A and B are shown apart, each in its own frame.
Chain A
Amino acid sequence: MPSFLRKGTLLRLLSVGLALVMVSSCAVRTDQITRDPNSVRIAVNNWVGYEASAEVLAYILREEMEYEVQLVRVDEQPSWQALDQGVMDVILENWGHDDLFELYGPEGNGTAVDGGPNGNEGVIGWYVPAYLAEEYPEITTVEGLKENTDLFQTAQTGDSGEFLAGAPGFVSQDQGMINAFDLDLQMVYAGSEAAQITEVRRRAANEEPVLFYFYDPQWFQEEIDLVKVEFPEYYDGCDADPEFVDCDYPVYDLNKIFRAGFVEHDDHAYRFLDNWTWTNSDQNAVARMIADQDLSPPEAAEIWVNENRDIWEEWLPEGYEDRR
């Protein structure tokens, strides 16, 4: 066969054509649109840790299991809608979006399924740089912070201290904590993680004070030493009223979210992703290569995959070789 009429291209043109024919003949449900069974579609949310997970899984799916993989970069909220609409198969790292699970999970319209923990543990909290904690050791406790909020005054916040909030999509209970612990702080929205990290970097260069929302695992944790402010531990229901939250963030067991149809289909790709779990240090190893050492994400994934065969071979489902 001449190579300019390769099977892949032809098959794709056919499947798109088929979808068009289907559309013109009957009612169309977007979650039923024919899709290439050979292709796995993974949502990639916009932080490097997530990207690391996605690239490693994509690499194994492609190279070892011979799937086509589409990595679709999209914000958190739209990626749930994409599951709902049948154009995405999996979200790899969900940070406690209960509201969305209510909307799309079994209690909602039933298009998303909780895929269980992926092994990563997510810690959200309030952080200060280590240089500041050394100078004012007391600010890493609630009481000490309360007495030193004036440290964080800026041109923008005036008499109150500044609390640098995270990106708008992130899970947040900060205003509730400010209220509950009666802290003289004003939320300043960084607007995006990139802006937030840039600002923290800028201040760290001059060892200026800064108090901000951050999380772990996150590659920036490796660049600047950060200290987490201690709040009373999370207990069930302490975050029920978003205006009054007298506890720290919970530790999230980050979980996977699958498209219901993908689970029902139950093929090798699903079983592989279902089997997958790894640790924060696995993820950070890859994320650091991407963010700090400036490797392209697929290169970073390749290096990790080559060095950690024993870890990922356990994720491979039985009989996956047969589908070749």
Chain B
Amino acid sequence: MAAMTEPVRATGSGAGGPGNRGGSGGLLRNTWLQALIAVAVLVAGYWVTRALGNPAWAGSFPTGVGDSFMAWLDGVYAWVVANRNDSPLFLYFFNYISVGLGSAVVLINYFLDFLTWAGVTVLGVFAAWRIAGWRVALLVLATFGVFALTGLWNESMTTLSLIITAVFMALLFGIPLGILAGRSDRFYRGLRPVLDFMQIMPAFAYLLPFVLLFGIGNPASAVVTAVYALPPVVRITALGIREVNKGAVEATTSLGSTPWQILTKVQLPLAKRTILLGVNQTIMLAVSMVVIASVIGAGGLGDAIYQALAKINVGQAFQAGLAIVMLAIAMDRVTGAVGHGAHTPRIPEHQRMPLLGGGLALVILVTAVGRLLDLGGWPRDLSIRIDTPINAVNDAVQAAIGPAAAAFGGWTQTTVLGPLNNLLTGSPWWLVVLVAAALGWIFSGWRVGLVSGGSFVAIGLLGVWSNAMDTLSQVLVATVVTIALGVVVGVLMSRSDVFAAILRPVLDFMQTLPPFVYLIPAVALLGLGPVPALAAAVIFALPPVIRLVNDGIRGVPAGTIEAAASQGSTKWQLLTKVELPMAVGSLRLAINQGIILVLSMVVMGALVGAGALGNDVVLGLAQNELGLGIASGLAIVFLGLFLDRVTQGRRAPRA
């Protein structure tokens, strides 16, 4: 279930860089040494500035431009509020969409309610069995069991309705866009930055504008979820279309097929498996938006988590979190099975229709009985509460390692985060811009250098320089920890099949459990501030990194390893000289995912006191300050752009 949102890494001619001169260069040509010098310049600049007593010319980026940008956005907001009941733009466009979406979610929810819990369960299990075989059907049954026994049946159905609507919408736009992108390189090149933007821009930052445009509750929630979940299906569909055997396309063309025929008869059928992988990823992302959407009234399971947290009842939040995890895993396995076409029960052609009819009849029968017995949602009285034991475990953990954890939190703050933050916020802004540009140039060539410097200037122009530097220091630490841990665990995972088998469900769980559930325990352990936020970010970003490293190393051809081993390489040499270098593509992707996911936790981190940009994004939503929220969100996007481009190296064609 790796959130492989960026699998497209066509090899291409990258921009050449200064360090790309083979092994013949002198000491100064060494990339890492150059980077070290750049950082040393920054540190020296910081100390000089301090020694001079922080003169005005060596401070933060002036905020003038940013302030007027924010004021302009606030003006737009005020205009919309004043005009949304009269402007034709709303009367004839946005309001239609919101009524349509709102009704769609509500209708699906009514339908699920109408089926009663018995009907939904029979329908779900039967469909899962027919599509994906009995193992997945059992998993689906277990999922419905969790919904029922946690007493969250109705909430789960609300959430399911929202996810169905949002995913449908994302696919409606995403698949055609993906097909276009697969057929036209130019279109794809134009689209990619937009997709990057959609994924890095924190959802909290665009909640407010979407509520303005589409209305609170289901409509805005569905749009926000769809926007967030759209990129992978576009990317992966494009990849699928591209990978279709060129020969097959040429053969069909030579037979005189029209482009439409090629698409529908050749490309789409052949790319079906890949496209379904994209659909699968889209569903996963939609599930992960459930909690955020409940801030604007989406209700359902996310709401249950919020409700529990208002009372600081970690056990109750975990219960709802577990329902979300089960939902995500079940949906992943079902759609995954459609993609592979594996495990489907083998049923002879002539029995398929009767079987389908029988299944439908069974669903209708169960529903009718359910309605006669007035079953509705699963009765809350028949639920099992696991919150008390979970709370007990939570308290015990806290008592056992609380003091040590708090000391560790304080230590991290004083020795790592604090100094790094001081360095970045206390140095002259132009020096930081120059060093960023230099790092981009050193690692990935002059184009990336320009992009890096430009990103930092843009952050300054947005008027959020100090907060952005604060956030950058936190993100750097979290990313380094994530990638270091990810590589170590990933290597271990690739070494042992048993360990891998044990780890996989744990990773599934880490990836789909909403961070809200573990944020509060993290505060209880580590103390409020950036440290618990970093811990949560690491937990969240780690699974895909581990998976990608594991996949990369396992993908190294056995012959290569044997050859190296036969020449007497030690295990360590094998790893560092053969396996890791050969898995470099996967490692790059792992780094990219680590960065994107850590950045996506910046706003969550602010909910437990990480402050900085994340806090301003939340503040923008909560205090009606559209300008502040958007500007801070954009700054996070630029930080992402910088980190991603610098770490992707000069072989990355996207720079």
Contact = CB atoms under 8 A, between A and B. Distances in A.
Interface of A: 2-4, 9, 12-13, 16, 19-20, 23, 27-31, 33, 46-48, 51, 72-79, 81-82, 84-85, 87-88, 99-100, 103-104, 108-109, 111, 154-156, 158, 164, 167-169, 188-199, 201-202, 290-291, 294, 296
17 contacts: A9-B113, A27-B92, A28-B99, A72-B299, A74-B216, A75-B296, A79-B216, A82-B215, A87-B216, A155-B409, A156-B418, A168-B619, A168-B623, A189-B609, A191-B608, A191-B618, A199-B523
Given A28-B91, A155-B418, A188-B529, A46 B217 contact: no
Nearest to A104: B81
Would you call the interface of chain B mostly helix, strand, loop, or mixed? helix
A103 B74 CA distance: 12
Nearest to B83: A109
A198 B605 CA distance: 15
Contacts of B370: 4
Given A19-B103, A29-B95, A4 B368 contact: yes
A287 B329 CA distance: 36
B4 to A, nearest CB: 30
A199 B527 CA distance: 6
A195 B98 contact: no
B101 to A, nearest CB: 11
Nearest to A298: B380
Contact of B91 (A29, A158, A168, A198): A29
Contact of A202 (B88, B523, B615): B523
Interface of B: 78, 81-82, 84-85, 88, 90-92, 95-96, 98-100, 103, 106-107, 110, 113-114, 207-208, 211-212, 215-217, 294-297, 299, 303, 306-307, 309-313, 367-368, 370-372, 374, 380, 402, 406, 409-410, 413-414, 418, 519-520, 523-524, 527-530, 605-611, 614-615, 618-619, 621-624
A156 B531 CA distance: 10
A146 B563 CA distance: 73
A73 B155 CA distance: 13
A16 B606 contact: no
A103 B625 CA distance: 13
Given A27-B91, A30-B95, A155-B410, A191 B615 contact: yes
A20 B100 contact: yes
Contact of B98 (A30, A155, A169): A30
Contact of B211 (A31, A81, A103, A190): A81
A158 B419 CA distance: 11
A189 B615 contact: yes
B91 A77 contact: no
Contacts of B622: 75-77, 167-169
Contacts of B606: 168, 189, 191
A296 B208 CA distance: 31
A215 B103 CA distance: 39
B35 to A, nearest CB: 29
Contact of B413 (A27, A155, A192): A155
A84 B310 contact: no
B529 A3 contact: no
A87 B215 contact: yes
Contacts of B524: 198, 201-202
Contacts of A168: 606, 615, 618-619, 621-623
B372 A78 contact: no
A109 B212 CA distance: 14
A189 to B, nearest CB: 5
Contacts of B621: 75, 77-78, 168
A88 B296 CA distance: 12
Contacts of A77: 208, 621-624
Contacts of B99: 19-20, 23, 28, 30, 33
A81 B615 CA distance: 22
A16 B177 CA distance: 31
Contacts of B212: 81
Nearest to B220: A78
Given A78-B211, A155-B413, A194-B312, A188 B100 contact: no
Given A28-B96, A103-B78, A103-B81, A78 B311 contact: no
Nearest 5 interchain pairs by C-beta = A4-B371, A169-B622, A74-B297, A27-B91, A199-B528
Nearest to B99: A23
A81 B528 CA distance: 32
Given A28-B96, A78-B211, A169 B418 contact: no
Contact of B85 (A13, A74, A111): A111
A301 B520 CA distance: 27
A75 B85 CA distance: 22
A155 B414 contact: yes
Contacts of B216: 74, 78-79, 81-82, 85, 87-88
Contact of A16 (B107, B307, B409, B523): B107
A78 B293 CA distance: 12
Given A16-B110, A189-B611, 8 more contacts: A27-B92, A81-B215, A82-B297, A99-B624, A155-B409, A168-B606, A196-B528, A291-B311
Contacts of A108: 81-82
A48 B310 contact: yes
B310 A16 contact: no
B81 A84 contact: yes
A73 B215 contact: no
Contacts of A167: 622
Nearest to A29: B85
